[in-house]
Amino acid sequence: MRGINRRITIPVDWCVLFGAVLLLPLLFRYIVPRLLTGAAAAYIANPLAWIMIALCVFRLPRQKSCGKQRLQPALIKIACGIALFQIYLMVLAGFFDGFGRSPYSFTISGILINIFYMVSILIGMELSRAWLINRLLSKPYVSVPVLLALFYTLLTMPTSKFPSWGSTLETWTQFFGSIFLPISMKQLLASFLAMWGGPVPALAYSGLLEAFEWFSPILPDLNWAMKALVGTIVPLVGLAIIQEFYAVQPIPRRRPEKHEKGYVSTAVFGAVLVVTIWFSIGVFPVRPIVIYSGSMCPTFDAGDIVIVAKKDPALLKEGDIISYRIEDSPVPIIHRIKKINRDKTIITKGDNNNHIDQPIVPEQVNGVVLFIAPKVGWISIAVRNMFI
On whether both 103 and 222 belong to a single domain, the answer is yes
Residues 276 and 353 in one domain: no
Helices (H), 198-291: 199-215, 224-247, 257-260, 262-281
- Domain limit, last residue, from 281, 304, 320: 281
- In this model, does residue 383 exceed pLDDT 50? no
Pick from 236, 265, 281: which residue ends a domain? 281
The CATH number for 308's domain is 2.10.109.10
C-alpha span between 68 and 383 (Å, rounded): 47
Note whether 209 and 227 are same-domain residues.
yes
Does 129 fall in a domain? yes
The DSSP code sequence of 353-372 is -SSPPPPB-GGGEEEEEEEE
Whether 277 and 290 share a structural domain = no
Query: Does residue 22 form part of some domain?
Result: yes
62: alpha, beta or left, given left = phi > 0 and alpha = psi -120 to 50? beta
Q: Which of 103, 123, 194, 189 is nearest to 153 (CA)?
A: 189
Residue 244 sits in the same domain as residue 173 = yes
Q: How much is the pTM?
A: 0.66
pLDDT at 251 over 80: no
Do 189 and 338 fall into the same domain? no
* 1 occurs within a structural domain: no
Residue 40 in any domain: the answer is yes
Tell me whether strands 321-324 and 365-373 are parallel, antiparallel or unpaired: antiparallel
Q: 215 and 359 share a domain? A: no
Residues 330 and 213 in one domain: no
- Per-residue pLDDT of 137-184, as tens digits, reads 888 888 889 899 999 998 888 777 888 877 776 677 778 877 888 899
Tens digit of pLDDT for each residue in 197-214? 999 999 999 999 999 999
Of the ranges 118-127, 144-153, 215-224, 255-264, which one carries the lowest mean pLDDT score?
A: 255-264
In this model, does residue 237 exceed pLDDT 80? yes
Lowest mean pLDDT among 6-20, 221-235, 249-263: 249-263
Domain presence at residue 7:
no
Question: How far is CA 299 from each of CA 112, 240, 374, rounded to the nearest angstrom?
Answer: 66, 44, 10
Domain that holds residue 383: 286-387
Judge contact between 52 and 21, C-beta under 8 A: no
Is 358 part of any domain? yes
Percent of the chain at pLDDT above 90?
28
pLDDT interval class at 254 (50, 70, 90): very low
Distance CA 307, CA 277 (A): 14
pLDDT at site 259: 44
- Quick: pLDDT tens for 51-81: 999 999 999 988 888 888 888 888 999 999 9
Give the residue with greater pLDDT, 167 vs 218.
Answer: 218
Are 175 and 240 in the same domain? Answer: yes
| CA angle, residues 192, 256, 181, in degrees to nearest 5 | 30
Render pLDDT for 277-326 as a digit per residue (tens, 0 to 9).
555 555 555 677 778 788 898 888 887 878 888 888 888 899 999 999 88
User: Nearest CA to 4 among 134, 127, 139?
Assistant: 139
Q: Is residue 85 part of a domain?
A: yes
* 3-class state of residue 46 by DSSP: helix
Are residues 142 and 79 both part of a single domain? Answer: yes
Q: Which of 248, 281, 314 is the last residue of a domain?
A: 281
**C-beta of residue 156 within 8 angstroms of C-beta of residue 183:** yes
Residue 5 lies in a domain: no
- 371 and 261 both lie in a single domain: no
Task: Please give the share of the chain, as a percent, with pLDDT higher than 70.
Answer: 79
User: Do 371 and 239 share a structural domain?
Assistant: no
Between CA 26 and CA 201, with CA 212 as vertex, the angle to 5 degrees is 70
Total domains present in the chain: 2
